[in-house]
Amino acid sequence: MVTGILTATILVGATGLIIGLLLGIASIKFKVEVDEKEEAVLAALPGNNCGGCGYPGCSGLAHAIASGEAKVNQCPVGGESVGNKIAEIMGVEAESGVRKVAFVHCQGDCDRTKVDYEYSGVKDCRMLSFVPNGGPKTCNHGCLGFGSCVEVCPFDAIHVVNGLAQVDREKCKACGKCVDVCPKNLITLEPYDAQYFVACKSADKGPVVMKGCDVGCVGCSLCMKNCPSEAITMDGPLAVIDQEKCTKCGTCIEKCPKKAIVMV
């Protein structure tokens, strides 16, 4: 009986030893070489995995930076400080970047817009394309206010207040998720230092705009005609500000009869 136990013990031990040796050999033969710079870049990134850089998470961006496919300051969350740290790891100079922030081109909250009917369906802006007029609000171009942008924001930087999406500029990391999800294309990424914006995206003519919203752009072009730096042009019936030309003089706000241009 003792002999049987010893034999079994020896067999089990020998089997474990053989398996261990095979695993050791396999680990050496199939070892994946780790790029030390890639690991260092990954450690420097904030780890939010938001995808705002255009790559699948921080590991994807780290690989792209290490292989020279992406810029060292491509992470919108980390900003300049992370970009400088990664540049040091890669042994290059960081390019100067412009901090950006999301802006909602609409002021159509519950007090300033009219509605055509009461909606009681799914509270998802993306689903509103299946209902009459693309939503209950009379303006078919404004914020629907059901918060699809809120759901996708990984930084708690956008909330719906009184039926209108509003961005917390200090929390926003310009990842672009809200931009992609908005079915009305109302959200854009703008320079953080920019102060004047046309808070409207309506493609309708003035009389139609006024029928549905108190603060929509009516296409009067007074802002364009009076802008001393020629920073405003008209895209059909809608005023558009060129932020690179804008000198922040405030004339456009003074001249806009509907207060469709705002200062942040």
211-239 pLDDT, tens digit each: 999 999 999 999 999 999 999 999 999 99
Kindly state the percentage of the chain with pLDDT values over 90.
58
pLDDT tens digits, one per residue of 129-181: 788 888 899 999 999 999 999 999 999 999 999 999 999 999 999 999 999 99
- The yes-or-no verdict on residue 28 having pLDDT over 70 is no
pLDDT for res 218? 97
Cβ 115 vs Cβ 109: under 8 Å: no
* Structural domains of the chain, count: 3
**Are 133 and 188 contained in the same domain?**
yes
Shared domain check, 171 and 232: no
Closest CA to 62 of 31, 96, 93, 85: 85
Specify the pLDDT at position 76: 86
pLDDT at 243 over 90: yes
Report whether 44 contacts 50 (CB < 8 A).
no
What is the chain's mean pLDDT, rounded?
89
- What pLDDT was estimated at residue 233? 97
Which amino acid, residue 214?
Answer: D
Residues 41 and 125 in one domain: no
Same domain, 169 and 114: yes
Is pLDDT at 6 greater than 70 in this prediction? no
User: Are residues 73 and 140 part of one domain?
Assistant: no
* pLDDT given at position 24: 67
In the chain, the amino acid numbered 137 is K
23 assigned to some structural domain: no
Length, in residues, of the chain: 264
Task: Compute the distance between CA of residue 48 and CA of residue 34 in angstroms, rounded to an integer.
Answer: 22
pLDDT at residue 13, rounded to an integer:
64
Q: In terms of domains, do 189 and 202 share one?
A: no
Write down the pTM of the prediction: 0.78
Classify residue 249: in a domain, yes or no. yes
Confirm whether 14 is domain-assigned.
no
Q: What pLDDT shows up at residue 78?
A: 85
Residue in the structure block whose two tokens are 């930084």: 155
Contact 58, 42 (CB under 8 A): yes
| Residue 28 belongs to a domain | no
Task: Tell whether 166 is covered by a domain.
Answer: yes
Q: Which domain holds residue 64?
A: 36-90
Question: What are the DSSP E strand ranges found in the chain?
Answer: 100-104, 158-161, 164-167, 187-191, 196-198, 232-235, 238-241, 261-263
> pLDDT value at position 19?
77
What pLDDT, on the 0 to 100 scale, is given for residue 144?
95
d(CA 173, CA 74): 12
Neighbours of 257 (CB within 10 A): 9
Residue 24 lies in a domain: no
**Domain contains 77:** yes
Q: Is the same domain home to 78 and 144?
A: no
The enclosing domain of 43 has a CATH number of: 1.10.15.40
Cβ atoms of residues 187 and 169 within 8 Å:
no
Whether 22 is covered by a domain: the verdict is no
